Amino acid sequence: MTRTDLVVLTVVRLHTPPFVVAMSTIATLLAKEIPGFTVDQAGLAFWQLGVDSFGMIELRVTIEHALGAAIPDAFWTRLETPAQLLDYAGERPRKALEMRAEPSLRRHYSINMPQMALGGLSESWLFKELGDAHWAMITSGLDAPSSALLDGNGDRLYATFTRLRIQATAPLASFEENAELALEGRICRFGAGMFFSEIALAGAGKGLSASIMSSFTKRGSLTSNSGLLKGQPTIPAGCPIPDVATRPEFGQGYRERRGVALPAALFEAPYEIVPYHDINGVGLLYFAAYPIISDICELKYMGRANDWALQASTVARDVFYFANCDAHDRLVYRVHARHDTPSVVDIESSLSRASDGALMAYLVTRKVQAGG
């Protein structure tokens, strides 16, 4: 397979006059992010106010946009109460926005055997390639290789996909050998902690779109992947990745899914992790392995042995990632909903850690049956 990468930068200069953000403004933002919050509760810890780690990321972004400047990690990692934030925010001047440019990634492929599975496009390869394209745009914008991404405290940050959705115009099995495909992608960020990309892959009369959301984590323990901590990189001056003022709708959908209680399981099966395939180079369960793990378990659910893999092909998949695990962990696959038409099967499923029941992912999959 040949592949060509091209990053195009379009530069736009923006100016904003400096001003001081009043404490009342920050209090209003806190009330918006924390339902029922009043200044009388400012001395309570964020966890007492119901703010989880994901909520803290969003709160940080909101405050940073109001301040017009990044909050140092040295302060944020010690932050415990809204009172501390109010004291900090009341003294911070708004800085002029830096020059920005928008990275645009382009790649070209010839689909050959390494990119194929069961006569069509390999979903395993596809997820890996989409993830690589997403991270290529991030590392290009941050001007650092992935292995050198650090937070303000100097701690190593790891790539953490939180949501990846693909939608194709035809089943993946219909993408044929030697087809020429072109990829184009664009990226933006919501503060320094969330990155969103839109990627299109097209050729031979077929197309596929992908929406990707990612954040960063760092290790809270050297012996377990269950205690990963949220983190974010230091954004370099003049970072070309656009910083959007409001969380994209794709990110809002992820936040809403986090709060949804799972329906009762229609089917349940254990899964033994295959370390040579499922674990990535930094010892985490690979984000690209989740769809394949789901497919392997789905074979048991459908009860058609391996014939099901020949009879149905993915045309859309939406994966919400919530947690990780260690190589020695066991997983539990559950089916929570299924909807059939003569040609299409929609399945909603989940993956959880067997050790503590922690939800690791929720998947919404659409497959087209042969002849559909």
Q: Is the pLDDT reported for residue 137 higher than 90?
A: yes
Per-residue pLDDT reduced to its tens digit, 23-42:
556 777 777 778 777 766 77
Per-residue pLDDT reduced to its tens digit, 288-318:
999 999 999 999 999 988 899 999 999 999 9
CATH superfamily of 1-12+98-253: Hotdog Thioesterase (3.10.129.10)
DSSP states along 170-216? S-GGGPPTT-EEEEEEEEEEETTTEEEEEEEEEETTEEEEEEEEEEE
Radius of gyration of the chain (CA): 22
Q: Is the pLDDT reported for residue 222 higher than 90?
A: no
Q: Residue 110: pLDDT band by 50, 70, 90 thresholds?
A: very high
CATH number for the domain whose boundaries are 23-89: 1.10.1200.10
pLDDT of residue 259: 84
Q: Are strands 267-272 and 206-218 parallel, antiparallel or unpaired?
A: unpaired
Q: Are 34 and 42 in contact (CB under 8 A)?
A: no
Q: Is the pLDDT reported for residue 177 higher than 80?
A: yes
Structure tokens at 258: 């986090």
- Of residues 185 and 13, more confidence is placed in 185
Structure tokens at 67: 């301040």
Q: Are 350 and 371 in contact (CB under 8 A)?
A: no
Q: Is the pLDDT reported for residue 156 higher than 60?
A: yes
Find how far residue 287's CA is from the centre of its chain. 9
pLDDT of residue 60: 83
d(CA 81, CA 88): 11
Q: Residue 135: pLDDT band by 50, 70, 90 thresholds?
A: very high
172 phi and psi angles, rounded to 5 deg: -60, -30
Tell me the C-alpha to C-alpha distance, in Å, between residue 256 and each of 49, 250, 320: 18, 10, 11
Tell me the C-alpha to C-alpha distance, in Å, between residue 147 and each of 139, 230, 233: 10, 17, 12
- Of residues 343 and 13, more confidence is placed in 343
Q: Residue 8: pLDDT band by 50, 70, 90 thresholds?
A: very low
Handedness of CA 273, 278, 280, 285 (dihedral sign): negative
To the nearest whole number, what is the mean pLDDT of the chain?
84
Residues 6+ apart with CB under 8 A from 96: 15, 16, 17, 18, 68
- Of residues 219 and 182, more confidence is placed in 182
User: Nearest CA to 163 among 336, 346, 361, 316?
Assistant: 361
CATH class in words for 260-372: alpha beta
Domain ranges in the chain are 1-12+98-253, 23-89, 260-372
- Of residues 6 and 127, more confidence is placed in 127
* Minimum mean pLDDT range among 65-74, 88-97, 166-175, 254-263: 88-97
d(CA 357, CA 340): 29
Fold match, 1-12+98-253 / 260-372: yes
Structure tokens at 362: 């929720």
Average pLDDT on 165-169 reads 94
